[in-house]
Amino acid sequence: MKKRVLITGSGGLIGSESVRFFAEKEFLVVGIDNDMRSYFFGEEASTKWNNNLLKEKYSNFIPIDLDIRNEKTIEKIFEEIKFDLIIHTAAQPSHDWAAKEPITDFTVNANGTLNLLEAFRKHCPEAVFIFTSTNKVYGDKPNELPLVELEKRWEIEKGHPYWNGIDEFMSIDQSKHSVFGASKVAADIMVQEYGRYFGLKTGTFRGGCLTGPQHSGAQLHGFLAYLAKCVATGQKYTIFGYKGKQVRDNIHSFDLVNMFWHFYQNPRQGEVYNAGGARHSNISMLEAIEKLENILGKKAVTEYNETNRVGDHIWYISDVSKFKKHYPDWDFKYGIDDILKEICESGHF
């Protein structure tokens, strides 16, 4: 019998990468996606196109239009299909949007996650549950690090314990998270608790900037994809604060899903990993604009807003050494130049 995987947010960046990855490993793939991304960010951010492509390409992919906030319909799916793996990527992913509708944000991110965890515990407790969390669970605590201003980026002092990146021991307390960050903290801790308290196999992956050619980038979410779209089409791009020198580590969707694969093969209980591009793949906003201008042969149209986004990070690079220690066969496939080139060549603007 084929292994069975449930993927929430199957039309999104990480969800669709997961569908492709596991469909090609001949899993029966059940995808849940109700295109709430278009509600959050407008029709330009719709994921319908991606789900339709996946449905056409993979006969072993079953897409279902379903809201993870609906406890009864979630339970029904788990009653009908015994899953070997659950990959939960569905979320409201934006700082700014969460502040507009905190209840929607929390019910999607926290309550939706709890619905899935409880159905998992009741109906397939031998399965593996993987959750895509976020580095925003640390709030703005990383901004307290001793940073140095360089010509095109902020950097941490050489020799600092976090120079190689921020590890899982950074405190999530005494910081400003944003409403989005708080709802993801709730989900993050609950996934850990179902692992530690109930003894289930759960893995929480605190992503940096997740990116790739399947990203339906919008102003409020999808840094590199949206920036590439703006440069390619001549649309104005607004830089919010920190002189445009804020640094993000960017991990390709394939590299993250490959982390999921390694975890699935040798799972742990209630484990947490920081998952980003690390020192291997990171870039500042100014550096990204310059590289995209060179790739696309176009000049970016930008404006600068001195007000940074609430809870935004000035410098964030993930330390992935814990995951590499636990799963030494895993490594990055994509660097930042590969990622930028692939986004531009995809033409998904």
pLDDT digits (tens, 9 = 90+) for 233-251: 999 999 999 999 999 999 9
Instruction: Tell me the DSSP string of 309-349.
Output: PTT--SEE-B--HHHHHH-TT------HHHHHHHHHHH---
What average pLDDT does the segment 192-198 reach? 98
Question: Cβ distance 259 to 275 under 8 Å?
Answer: yes
Question: Cβ distance 280 to 324 under 8 Å?
Answer: no
Within 13 Å, how many C-alpha atoms sit on residue 230's CB side?
A: 21
Q: What are the Cα distances from residue 181, in Å, to 90, 195, 288?
A: 15, 21, 25
155 exposure class (CB count in 10 Å sphere: 0-12, 13-18, 19+)? middle
- Token pair in block for residue 212: 């790739």
Percent with pLDDT over 70 in the chain:
97
pLDDT at position 6 over 60: yes
Residue 32 belongs to what domain range? Answer: 4-346
SS3 222: coil
Question: Cβ distance 89 to 8 under 8 Å?
Answer: yes
We report the CATH number of the domain holding residue 23 as 3.40.50.720
What average pLDDT does the segment 36-58 reach? 88
Q: Could you give the angle at the alpha carbon of 255 between the alpha carbons of 254 and 261, nearest 5°?
A: 85
pLDDT at position 322 over 90: yes
Q: Give all strands of the β-sheet with 4-8 in edge-to-edge order.
A: 61-64, 28-32, 4-8, 85-88, 128-134, 201-207, 271-275
| Mean pLDDT taken over the chain | 94
pLDDT, tens only, 95-149: 889 999 999 999 999 999 999 999 999 999 999 999 999 999 999 999 999 999 9
Q: What are the Cα distances from residue 20, in Å, to 183, 212, 258?
A: 28, 13, 11
Report the C-alpha gap between 208 and 275 in whole angstroms. Answer: 6
What average pLDDT does the segment 290-299 reach? 96
The pLDDT of residue 224 is 87
**Count of domains in the chain?**
1
The pLDDT of residue 82 is 97
pLDDT, tens only, 48-77: 888 889 999 999 999 999 999 999 999 999
Q: How many helices and strands, by DSSP H and E, does the chain display? A: 13, 15
pLDDT at position 25 over 60: yes
What average pLDDT does the segment 218-228 reach? 73
What average pLDDT does the segment 6-13 reach? 95
**Is residue 46 very low, low, confident or very high in pLDDT (cuts 50, 70, 90)?**
confident
Q: Which residue has the higher pLDDT, 33 or 1?
A: 33
What average pLDDT does the segment 195-202 reach? 98
Please name the amino acid found at residue 344: C
DSSP 221: B
Rg of the Cα atoms in the chain: 19
pLDDT, tens only, 140-194: 999 999 999 999 999 998 899 999 999 999 999 999 999 999 999 999 999 999 9
Question: Cβ distance 60 to 300 under 8 Å?
Answer: no
DSSP 308: P
Spatial CA neighbour of 344 closest among 305, 294, 269: 294
